[in-house]
Chain A
Amino acid sequence: TQLLEQSPQFLSIQEGENLTVYCNSSSVFSSLQWYRQEPGEGPVLLVTVVTGGEVKKLKRLTFQFGDARKDSSLHITAAQPGDTGLYLCAGSGPPGNQFYFGTGTSLTVIP
């Protein structure tokens, strides 16, 4: 069983469109991180959200942590081909505060 479920699993959109990726869990997380991974590379941290209801913006990317700290979302405005990659949420959760990655969302932005 996956502690962090992401949706959608795959997303293919045209350049300029908006999109939202979701990360859901039945468990409470003290914080959640979002990473982007490009082919042949390791994941790179985009942001960490720590407070329930927190919203963080990174240029065209908006990250939100759910009030109950069980879910998070990533919204991209006016997607560009350079946004193409695998988006992963991650956090420390039960049992034993182990670190988990989500199931991943593979995004393709078509020029």
Chain B
Amino acid sequence: DTEVTQTPKHLVMGMTNKKSLKCEQHMGHRAMYWYKQKAKKPPELMFVYSYEKLSINESVPSRFSPECPNSSLLNLHLHALQPEDSALYLCASSRAGLADLTDTQYFGPGTRLTVL
């Protein structure tokens, strides 16, 4: 089973709202990722957690705040977003973490975010 789940599937929010995206996996994977994908572009890495610790932050604005409460859960807290933040937000997980060059990432279905 290589299932990563994400909720909600769709989210519409205003620029003053606070919302959260949730990602879950029960495969025992030790690395979890947040990506942002705009239309007709490849996924862009935002954050990586390895063994529940933030390992990579790709200079993401502070209006995006990741959280990894446990090894199965990953959240992305959103606050004061801009319309240009509208995109598909993808969560992924991988078995071994960042030190394994053969580690394969499995993606969840994504959350389609619209910021008004």
Report if A and B associate in a common complex: no
Interface residues of B (CB under 8 A from A): none
Binding site for B on A (CB under 8 A): none
